[in-house]
Structure 1
Amino acid sequence: MATNQDVKNQLANRVSQSAQQPASPEQTIAAYLKKMGPEIERALPSHMNADRMARIALTTIRTNPMLLQCSIPSLLGAVMQAAQLGLEPGLIGHCYLVPFRNNKENRMDVQFIIGYKGMIDLARRSGNIESIYSHCVYEADEFDYELGLHPKLHHKPATGRRGELKYVYAVAHFKDGGYQFEVMDKEEIERRRKRSKAANNGPWVTDYEEMAKKTVIRHMWKYLPISIEIQQQAGHDEVVRKDVISEPVSVYSEAIDISGVSAETIPFDDQSATGEEQKEPEQPSGDGTIFDHVK
């Protein structure tokens, strides 16, 4: 019959063996996110919290294992960008974390991309826009627009088979009664897509129409009555940040403790996994800067 001392020894041996096992990439990321919690909390708008953002980020990573092959600074930089803008990656198309091959540095990095719904959320935060939307035009649709002194736009979608994509347009109605619209043809959208590091993967492949709509809204951005701060926030689109943490250290060093850390152990608000539409994000707090490192 085992004594209490025998049980203690067995438990101690299991703990020792567990500590010697290499941490999985997911454990490493979870540990960094746990350590970054206070920084993420300060960056988030009031209706969100760091635990929720960490779990959403881990869920996004699980759905795209290639993210685990990316450099940790660029991956965590993308998570911090999402937090600072108050946008949730993956779930409802607010923003995306897209892996790409960095041939210059011979490694995989993560590019942060704002989605169509994310651009709309940012625009609405200005308080000066009544509504903003974008639509795709196909070859069977009835479509006409005119610029000049009296600009106008007419679009009547066809029923049934609509053919190939021809144009994408965006319209913003202002609270003072004015409006702005932009039209972009498929060729121009393609030219802009090809300039992206994620031109051949991520949302440009899985959600082409949504990205096309975002592209037109992004082009219209400079004509909208929105604050300089929100203009600057939109400037974070399609960038790669690697200065959120220093070069990754061993997860066994004193800098990061992974004991008991996994995707399951980070507290989680179950509502964030439903994919349901969330309330409109509030203006992120703070001065708009991105934290340079984790203390």
Structure 2
Amino acid sequence: MATNQSLKNQLANKANKKEAAAPTPAQTIAAYLKKMGPEIEKALPKHMDADRMARIALTTIRTNPKLLECSVPSLLGAVMQAAQLGLEPGLIGHCYFVPFKNGKTGQSDVQFIIGYKGMIDLARRSGNIESIYAHAVYENDTFEYEYGLHPKLVHKPAMTDRGEFIGAYAVAHFKDGGYQFEFMPKEEIEKRRKRSKAANNGPWVTDYEEMAKKTVIRHMWKYLPISIEIQQAVTQDETVRKDITADPEPVEYIEAEAFEVSAEEEEQPKEEEKPSNFEQESFDIE
């Protein structure tokens, strides 16, 4: 016959096992991504693989612990935006998932931001562009440009100390032989950065030069022979999805203390932390 103490021990052991088996936030997200596999596959362009997209998205999420603190629907919504546009998040620079504290709701959400390489990739899909690229310009470079009837652009980067960043330019060559170029000084780039809800967070902090080049390309967008479908794709830049089925919405208000991730945090994902808001979501894991 079991004694009271043995029963207590058995109950304690069961409780300990149950607690030990509780999934980490990263494991929870991995389960959601696995369940989303068929939807991701439907959304992706034919040349992309759903398993690869899920792996890259999970790696991106794991390397930024602040993403694991965000609402699950907005995080999965960002993954679906990347899938629908055929852009890979993370180091390749196609797109970024940026965590932020929503000052109105008080919860942490994820903003989807298209990167420089993502803008390049989308432009090339139009089929009318032979090549498109952008470069940063520094004060010690040899740089000349002029618009008008005979546009001119000359850029010879300094071989050693290039000095301070002074601006960026973008060039697009069309398949019919035409071309378009735009230069934007740092002052103008800064004005546009400050208008962004992610001005002091995410890629504007970690990849300033890439974002500067993207800003010029986006400014030049209206002059490019791009399809309506691609034009609409770019409207998803700097938006948030409340869940995977919702339409992208602009970020209305970000709390002053936006999330910033230190290099130490990026190197050491905090997977050992227990879920907080994950249990409150409406998704089911099988």
In the alignment, which residue of structure 2 is the partner of 1:112?
112
Q: What TM-score, normalized by structure 1, do the two folds share? A: 0.77
Q: Which runs of 5+ in 2 are unaligned?
A: 1-9, 247-276
Q: Which runs of 5+ in 1 are unaligned?
A: 1-9, 258-295
The answer (yes or no) to whether the contact 2:72–2:278 under 8 Å persists in 1 is no
1:149 to 2:137 alignment: no
Deviation at 1:165, TM superposition (A): 0.9
Deviations 1:153-207 (A, max 9, x none): 1112112111111121000000100000111010111111112222112111111
- Between 230-239 and 145-154, report the one with greater CA deviation: 145-154
The answer (yes or no) to whether the contact 1:101–1:107 under 8 Å persists in 2 is yes
Deviation at 1:37, TM superposition (A): 1.2
In the alignment, which residue of structure 2 is the partner of 1:57?
57
Deviation at 1:91, TM superposition (A): 3.0
Q: What is the number of residues matched between the two proteins?
A: 245
Alpha-carbon distance in structure 1 between the residues aligned to 2:17 and 2:141? 66
Matching residue's letter, 1:228: I
Q: How does 1:10-21 map to 2 (within 5 A)?
A: 17-18=17-18, 21=21
Percent identical among aligned pairs is: 76
The answer (yes or no) to whether the contact 2:76–2:243 under 8 Å persists in 1 is no
Alpha-carbon distance in structure 2 between the residues aligned to 1:81 and 1:105? 22
In the alignment, which residue of structure 2 is the partner of 1:92?
92
Alpha-carbon distance in structure 2 between the residues aligned to 1:14 and 1:227? 60
Deviation at 1:249, TM superposition (A): 7.7
Alpha-carbon distance in structure 2 between the residues aligned to 1:254 and 1:185? 46
Alpha-carbon distance in structure 1 between the residues aligned to 2:233 and 2:15? 45
In the alignment, which residue of structure 1 is the partner of 2:203?
203
1:27 to 2:27 alignment: yes
Deviation at 1:27, TM superposition (A): 2.0
Deviations 1:237-262 (A, max 9, x none): 1111113169x8848989322xxxxx
Deviation at 1:210, TM superposition (A): 0.6
Matching residue's letter, 2:87: L
1:37 to 2:37 alignment: yes
Q: What TM-score, normalized by structure 2, do the two folds share? A: 0.79
Matching residue's letter, 2:210: E
The answer (yes or no) to whether the contact 1:28–1:251 under 8 Å persists in 2 is no
In the alignment, which residue of structure 2 is the partner of 1:240?
240
Q: How does 1:109-188 map to 2 (within 5 A)?
A: 109-188=109-188
**Which protein has greater RCO, CA pairs closer than 8 Å, 6+ apart?**
1
Q: Are residues 151 and 30 of structure 1, via their aligned partners in 2, closer, same or farther at CA, if it must alter by over 3 Å?
A: same
Deviation at 1:116, TM superposition (A): 0.8
Matching residue's letter, 2:124: R
Alpha-carbon distance in structure 1 between the residues aligned to 2:157 and 2:149? 26
Q: Are residues 163 and 119 of structure 1, via their aligned partners in 2, closer, same or farther at CA, if it must alter by over 3 Å?
A: same
Alpha-carbon distance in structure 2 between the residues aligned to 1:253 and 1:117? 34
SS in 2 for 1:232: helix
